[in-house]
Chain A
């Protein structure tokens, strides 16, 4: 029995985010963007709050229930997207998706930081959805917002 792959999945930086999630909470501001997303197959759930000013994400927080991978991913994502423009954050979501699906990804000029530690999930296909849940929530949030503006 080998825990090698497990060690790639549960890297210490991931466990640190799981144990001490950053940006856990809510944004109390009327102008915030709120997204709720579930993974209906497993019961994981995230409430993502984002504040966007002049096209830039100035704050991001989340509440949720889930496994180590989904909580760590949400913690890392909310850290990473703060200060980015909406376009940059969506670009990062695409890079993230490619990374966890095991595809070639090009992150030139983008600081993935801790996020790269989640690449170990490629060896565990059943867990990819855990990692992408918060990112899908962000994408859904911005798609909603766009729709509302056009409306």
Chain B
């Protein structure tokens, strides 16, 4: 994997920010896009923009083929059994809300349990809070170990025959923890529950095989994996999706509409109401081609190395606190510098061209568990280099000196 060749594919990386070369380390929030993705979307709008699944003209056929071709690419990307199990959504948030409404609210009742973890992103937490409030089900949490991992014994203790849904991030967007979702799915199934996986921070960075994980639902976003914003994926097992009512209704998702009743299209279109993000599907397909050519295994190895290097360099800085496990993690490193608030640290790094995230990362319960109100986070992708990790460590040292001087 030649990083320089990869970097050449990303136009946005070749610029200066505040007089210094851009060091983009906010990939957990959104990733940058390669030329191929940008050009594929431009070509769509210049050459065959048209609505899909309606009309019989040539451009409509080209657009429909591209959109459904993207679905087949997604199917292969996650090794789903059929394209009927691949639903396009606005992103991970909408995908998880679809499960919480169309499966959760329909199947939960008083006395039932939904089990999640305190490390969930708000997108995999609030939909379950709301579903439990609406149905009288109980929301339960698997406790975290002190290093920010979960213990399978705790999973076995928390999940009971009353549990109907277990929902969990595959990888934490703050701690970087990779959760043992395959093993958790097994425990969920033994108790008669379904397993919902938030793959927003895993699908872009490692090879996903939904059939091997044996999860019932898997959600992820295009924009975190070199694709455009505005589109994401919900994978669901066919037998479950078939018995679910649509989350949204309207155009395109119908079979027959009468004055007082309607019937739905077959899967996956039953869940795709209105005009879908077609250009974005084309862009996502191109991103999948790009990532597949580089190889998800290579990307994972590269990012794990960067994270290990960052942990090594940052640990050497006096007064730094790093959160999350040291092993079995994705390329996310979250930290705080004693005496310097994460916002101040981020502002100072920004003057050196280094983009990191500062704040609660849409994980307020996890911030309280960590006992902080905000943290700084560096998150890596395939185009980041060891030299950039060194710049980050230097930048943090300079920020520390600067704040030491002005304080």
Question: Is B182 close to A, CB under 8 A?
Answer: no
Q: How far, in angstroms, from A7 to B342 measured CA to CA in the complex? A: 18
Question: Is B146 close to A, CB under 8 A?
Answer: no
Decide: B19 and A2 in contact? CB cutoff 8 A: yes
Interface string of A104-141 (1 = CB under 8 A from B): 00000000000000000000101100100000000000
Question: Is B351 close to A, CB under 8 A?
Answer: yes
Instruction: Return the chain A residue nearest B339 by Cβ.
Output: A19
Instruction: Report the minimal beta-carbon distance from B161 to chain A, rounded to whole angstroms.
Output: 38
Interface string of B22-49 (1 = CB under 8 A from A): 0000000000000000000000000000
Question: Is B114 close to A, CB under 8 A?
Answer: no
Question: Is B207 close to A, CB under 8 A?
Answer: no
Decide: B341 and A1 in contact? CB cutoff 8 A: no
Interface string of A1-44 (1 = CB under 8 A from B): 11101110110100100110000000000000000000001111
Number of interface residues of B (CB under 8 A): 22
Decide: A6 and B343 in contact? CB cutoff 8 A: no
**Choice from A2, A43, A126, A127 contacting B360 with Cβ under 8 Å:** A43
Instruction: Report the minimal beta-carbon distance from A139 to chain B, rounded to whole angstroms.
Output: 22
Question: Is A66 close to B, CB under 8 A?
Answer: yes
Q: Chain A interface: which size bin?
A: 20 to 34
Decide: A1 and B19 in contact? CB cutoff 8 A: yes
Instruction: Return the chain B residue nearest A71 by Cβ.
Output: B341
Decide: B20 and A67 in contact? CB cutoff 8 A: no
Q: How far, in angstroms, from A44 to B344 measured CA to CA in the complex? A: 12
Q: How far, in angstroms, from A79 to B13 measured CA to CA in the complex? A: 45
Instruction: Report the minimal beta-carbon distance from B407 to chain A, rounded to whole angstroms.
Output: 5
Question: Is B374 close to A, CB under 8 A?
Answer: yes
Question: Is A65 close to B, CB under 8 A?
Answer: yes
Q: How far, in angstroms, from A66 to B364 measured CA to CA in the complex? A: 14
Known interface pairs A42-B374, A43-B360. Does A9 touch B347 (Cβ–Cβ under 8 Å)? Answer: yes
Decide: A3 and B402 in contact? CB cutoff 8 A: yes
Decide: A6 and B402 in contact? CB cutoff 8 A: yes
Instruction: Report the minimal beta-carbon distance from B261 to chain A, rounded to whole angstroms.
Output: 42
Q: How far, in angstroms, from A5 to B20 measured CA to CA in the complex? A: 15
Decide: A66 and B373 in contact? CB cutoff 8 A: yes
Decide: B351 and A68 in contact? CB cutoff 8 A: no
Q: Which residues of A contact B (CB under 8 A)?
A: 1-3, 5-7, 9-10, 12, 15, 18-19, 41-45, 65-69, 124, 126-127, 130
Can you add 7 more A-B contacts, CB < 8 Å, to A18-B407, A42-B360, A68-B341?
A: A6-B348, A6-B351, A12-B406, A42-B358, A43-B360, A43-B373, A43-B374
Give 5 nearest A-B pairs by CB, closest first.
A67-B341, A67-B343, A43-B360, A65-B373, A42-B359
23 contacts between A and B (CB under 8 A): A1-B19, A1-B20, A1-B352, A2-B351, A3-B351, A3-B402, A6-B347, A6-B402, A10-B402, A15-B406, A15-B407, A19-B407, A41-B359, A43-B364, A44-B343, A44-B374, A45-B373, A67-B341, A67-B344, A69-B343, A69-B344, A127-B347, A130-B343
